[in-house]
Structure 1
């Protein structure tokens, strides 16, 4: 069994950022950019007496999926919860810039093969958002990444992968929403405000962050799939996420961007309709919403396997 085979069978939820980055592209093609040997660590953490990492909690690199150059950004939740600071953000932005340069090069040198060589940026999110130790730099990084995503429009896709332990929360929830395609597993969680923060600010009666079932009903992959905040729901393995990536890249760019959740007047109208709907049905729990959209046994959805769920789920 090759190293890639071992990676492919590994749980996406349990995998490190580096394992996810390597496993999402074809065997032997991944090259890490600005890795630990380059010692790009935060200049702010030592001043505060905090430990550093020489990759600042994010793995960036490039590999191939077929003929497609895939630029990977993979966050590491084991380091400050995957929070974004100055260097972390700069590595994300630099990866986008390299992807855009690759797109321009392919367009110039291989214009007739652009579709089969189209690059992509893949972000494997595992983050609570801004790193409070360097909040201003972290907030600026979020804005710069959003700006970079805007620069990809009409050129090449940006794909979000969400299935790691920390989930995707805070400002990075905005970033994920701005991508062209979102791929999640049942264990993935996506939202703006994390469960612990909601409990801290609003109280346990409003949201009990220790209630794992409640957290997953509200922010988990199945709920996001029903609500169309997630385009692909896959099994918890690196191989399954890579298969979804390959499927996305097999489609024409104009088809890929139909998966977007924001970015047009029609999509804004959809979101406004959902606000009206929430006022109309006043749900007390996500299960009320699942039932509204035609799911006959909403209480049983959490117990379904991914395969069973995809076969039966009714989406909005």
Structure 2
């Protein structure tokens, strides 16, 4: 078991899925569910003669922050790029459903229970999307996770954390967008199509995936914060993500609606205004959008320390 205190100072970007899961909750409270000793490996990979992991690249468990139960899902990008298949998807869905059932049980026993005693789901995304080895089973897993979010809505808050090496791309980009809150570091990346795929399909002139600065100012946490796709931007430490989760844990479930990006007619209208703005602007670079948001020196803002960025950045309003 890793030293919990040392985990708090560790880079979220550099940490494994299990270390993130343990470090996000209070010391000594994490209990893993369906861990490696349960040997829940993918039958699809076995059938294809591929290597397996006995947790299928997804760590699930439950712990506490203060008095609030925290159901944790943490993806491991070092196993098939964090791609989601049937078993990993089932672990995610089951964890969310356990949190919902626990919330229902607590409220049935005590209708006036304090909000901070009700469970919350936290998902540390590190994934390129669907596991192509499993085709339809992987796609179905994505749909089932989003369906679980709908069951949780208004009962159990679902918080997305994005700050790991792979980022959050493919169908899982859609899944992350459907959570209640997104917390990122500047090193987190979020999108539908990854930079390498864009370059492969459209050519280097369209998107140079080797241009690290371009990739981060297009898919990274700073850009997503300005665009409103990321609700909170934190430092690259497990402790910083944990602190933001702890602050969110003080809120009643109804307060989480204000952070959502989808799920209402008003939000659909906002997205349509963004589409219209993009068609009008025809931006050549993310910095064009930053400038439109009121950031007159986007390059300087992009290079500023993250604390200064949080204080100075103007978010896009449509």
Structure-1-length-normalised TM-score: 0.98
SS in 1 for 2:43: coil
> Which portions of structure 1, spanning 4 or more consecutive aligned residues, are displaced by more than 4 angstroms?
none
Match of 2:22?
Answer: 22
Displacement of 1:163 in angstroms is: 0.0
Displacement of 1:64 in angstroms is: 0.5
* Whole-angstrom distance in 1 between the partners of 2:37 and 2:100: 25
User: Over residues 86-128 of structure 1, what are the superposed CA-to-partner deviations in whole Å (9 max), with x where a residue is unaligned?
Assistant: 1111111110111111111111123222412121111100000
Aligned residues: 315
Structure 1 unmatched runs, 5+: none
SS in 1 for 2:40: coil
* Whole-angstrom distance in 2 between the partners of 1:259 and 1:40: 34
Alignment of 1:110-259 (within 5 A): 110-259=110-259
Displacement of 1:296 in angstroms is: 1.7
CA contact (8 A) 2:116 2:251 kept: no
* Whole-angstrom distance in 2 between the partners of 1:159 and 1:63: 15
Alignment of 1:56-71 (within 5 A): 56-71=56-71
Displacement of 1:267 in angstroms is: 0.5
Displacement of 1:46 in angstroms is: 2.1
SS in 2 for 1:280: helix
Structure-2-length-normalised TM-score: 0.97
Match of 1:95?
Answer: 95
Displacement of 1:302 in angstroms is: 2.4
Match of 1:3?
Answer: 3
CA contact (8 A) 1:157 1:257 kept: no
Q: CA RMSD in A?
A: 1.0
* Whole-angstrom distance in 1 between the partners of 2:251 and 2:123: 19
Displacement of 1:304 in angstroms is: 1.2
User: Over residues 8-57 of structure 1, what are the superposed CA-to-partner deviations in whole Å (9 max), with x where a residue is unaligned?
Assistant: 11100000000000111111110000000000001111222211000000
Structure 2 unmatched runs, 5+: none
CA contact (8 A) 1:106 1:114 kept: no
